[in-house]
Chains A and B, each alone.
Chain A
Amino acid sequence: MLAGGFVTTLQVTVSSLIIAMVLGILVCLMHISHKRVLRGIAKFYIWIIRGTPMLVQAFYIYFAVPQLIQLSTGSSFRIDVFTASLITLSLNAGAYLSEIFRGSIESVDKGQMEASRSLGVSYATSMRKIILPQAVRICLPSLVNQCIITLKDSTILYAIGLGEIMYQAKIYVGRTMESFATYTWVAICFLLITSVLMLISRTVEKRMHA
């Protein structure tokens, strides 16, 4: 049962991170684009996500948005808890990742884009072949850090009833009264995954600087 909870935790985290990665790149490109509307949308989105707690975001997506849809369409609307969780975590991580990506792209020397453009290469190709490969190296540590944060934050989804590890642990403790053993087990599960992530990040970083 606890193991099942942990599988759900990993499922929702990994799927959200994949979605968030795509979302983050899109929002980042919108944010640095010359079109004012795109920039505005990106800024607004990041402002909302950064400015509200994830617990509120989760409640909003699971309870508030379905009610709004119900009121405006007149027909009943429900969203299942895994989908709501996936959306919450993706939107949340997406905003932070987009800021990480933007910071990395902007920290690549301006002369790199100029050198590439001066050779007659288009903006898009210069971005893809010259800027992004360098930005990826820069953003890697923060990227891993965000993965760790998202993994840990997924426990918040317990509040809307997602059957993730904390939810299952709480039920388990209620039945067996084994608080100490259960929560220790939960903590160790997280430590295991986060340690592996940190190790990977350190190895990759070392290889890149070599």
Chain B
Amino acid sequence: MANQKIKVVGLKKAFGDLEVLKGIDLEISSGEVVCIIGPSGSGKSTFLRCLNRLEEPTAGEIFVDGESITSNGADVDRVRRHLGMVFQQFNLFPHYTVKQNLMFAPVELKLKTPVEAEKTAIRLLDRVGLGDKVDAKPRELSGGQQQRVAIARALAMEPDIMLFDEPTSALDPEMVSEVLDVMRELAEEGMTMVIVTHEMGFAHDVADRVIFIDDGVIVEQGTPEQVMDHPQSVRTKSFLSKVL
């Protein structure tokens, strides 16, 4: 497949004796929006974190743009530049202003001059609706605003894949939609996205494909209609009946 972005083969991850991922195979094409759902502790966050090697896989291989990122010689730092990541807890740098949060990596990695990086930062912050907060410190922002900055920070590296690890789970309910709106726009612009989420409505709306992971394996996958409206597996049915 020419437009294949990510390919995962036989991915396993164990923490000591506890096997969290028991062999995952998956291909994601360019521009595809994939939502991963499943019960807590099912391994979905671990799977996402393996994709940019924040977790070291125990076995299996991962290819990004056809290049193995799990082989010994792989330059993880270089691969990570193409993979933006948004965390549940935002993880903004508290000692930097909002603008500096966005400028840090591009300037540090010498991809941009400070002047260019600042321009990009302001443009991105405008885009997520925070043009008036460029000089604020993260702690002065609400959770929803912080998460939008975190998305902009990941975008500042101009990634072609974005990973979201439960991006709205730490937010107060009234702030969820402002973050989802930004993500929806990104999806419409054709960004390749892998989203671990508990927002079933959002997954149903935005996903090209929904993957249900339980107990370290992919139980079921397909279009939102297939997986969420007409689930085949008993485990999927039971999970959906609890969350919908």
Spell out A's residues near B (CB within 8 Å): 109, 111-112, 114-122, 125, 129-130, 133-134, 137
18 A-B pairs in the complex with CB atoms less than 8 angstroms apart: A111-B89, A112-B91, A114-B91, A115-B150, A116-B93, A119-B81, A119-B104, A119-B153, A120-B79, A120-B80, A120-B109, A121-B104, A121-B105, A121-B109, A130-B93, A130-B104, A134-B94, A134-B95
Residues in chain A near residue B52, CB distance under 8 A:
118
CB distance from A12 to the nearest CB of B (A): 35
A129-B108 CB under 8 A given contacts A119-B153, A120-B81: yes
Contacts of A109 in B (CB 8 A): 89, 91
Within 8 A of A (CB), among B59-114: 77-81, 83-85, 87, 89, 91-95, 104-105, 108-109
Query: In the complex, what distance in Å separates the CA atom of A57 from the CA atom of B59?
Result: 50
CA of A120 to CA of B157, assembled, Å: 9
Beyond A111-B91, A119-B81, A120-B78, list 12 extra A-B contacts (CB 8 Å): A109-B89, A111-B89, A114-B54, A115-B85, A115-B91, A118-B85, A119-B105, A119-B153, A120-B109, A122-B77, A130-B93, A137-B95
Residues of B with C-beta under 8 A to A122: 77
Collect the chain A residues with CB atoms within 8 Å of residue B94's CB.
134
Closest Cβ of chain B to A135, distance in Å, is: 11
Chain A residues within an 8 Å CB radius of B85? 115, 118
Taken together as a complex, chains A and B put the C-alpha atoms of A16 and B89 apart, in Å, by 41
Report how far A111 CA is from B150 CA in the complex, Å: 12
Q: Distance in Å from the Cβ of A151 to the closest Cβ of chain B?
A: 30
B154 touches A (CB below 8 Å): yes
Nearest 6 A/B pairs, CB to CB: A119-B105, A115-B91, A111-B91, A120-B81, A118-B85, A120-B80
Instruction: Specify which chain A residues have a CB less than 8 angstroms from the CB of B80 in the assembled complex.
Output: 117-120
Q: In the complex, what's the smallest C-beta–C-beta distance from A59 to chain B, in angstroms?
A: 44
Query: Which positions in B face A, CB cutoff 8 Å?
Result: 52, 54, 77-81, 83-85, 87, 89, 91-95, 104-105, 108-109, 150, 153-154, 157
Partner of A118, one of B54, B89, B104: B54
Minimum CB–CB distance from A138 to chain B (whole Å) comes to 11
CB <8 Å contact, A120 and B105: yes
The prevalent SS among residues of A at the interface is helix
User: Which residues of the partner chain A approach B153 to less than 8 Å between Cβ atoms?
Assistant: 115, 119
Complex CA gap A112/B150 in Å reads 12
Residues of B within 8 A of A114 (CB): 54, 87, 91
CB of B93 to closest CB in A, whole Å: 6
Asked if A120 and B77 make an inter-chain contact with CB atoms under 8 angstroms apart, the answer reads yes
In the complex, which residue of chain A has the Cβ closest to the Cβ of B157?
A119
Q: Which residues of A contact B109 (CB under 8 A)?
A: 120-121
Instruction: State how many angstroms separate the Cβ of B128 from the closest Cβ of chain A.
Output: 17
B89 touches A129 (CB 8 A): no
Chain B residues with Cβ below 8 Å from A112 are: 91, 93
Residues of A within 8 Å of B54, CB to CB, are 114, 117-118
Q: How far is the CA of A109 from the CA of B138 in the complex (A)?
A: 15
Rounded to whole angstroms, the CA-CA distance of A134 and B108 in the bound complex is 18
Name the contact of B108 in the complex, choosing from A111, A117, A121, A137 (C-beta under 8 A).
A121
How many angstroms between the C-alpha atoms of A129 and B101 in the bound complex?
11
For A119, the closest partner residue in chain B by CB is B105
Minimum Cβ distance to chain B for residue A110 (Å): 9
Chain A residues in 8 Å Cβ range of B95: 133-134, 137
Cβ contact within 8 Å between B93 and A125? no
**Which residue of A111, A133, A134 contacts B87 across the interface (Cβ within 8 Å)?**
A111
- A residues within 8 A CB of B87? 111, 114-115
Chain B residue nearest in CB terms to A123: B77
- Knowing A114-B54, A129-B108 are in contact, say whether A119-B93 is a contact too (CB < 8 A): no
Residues of chain B lying within 8 A (CB to CB) of residue A125? 108
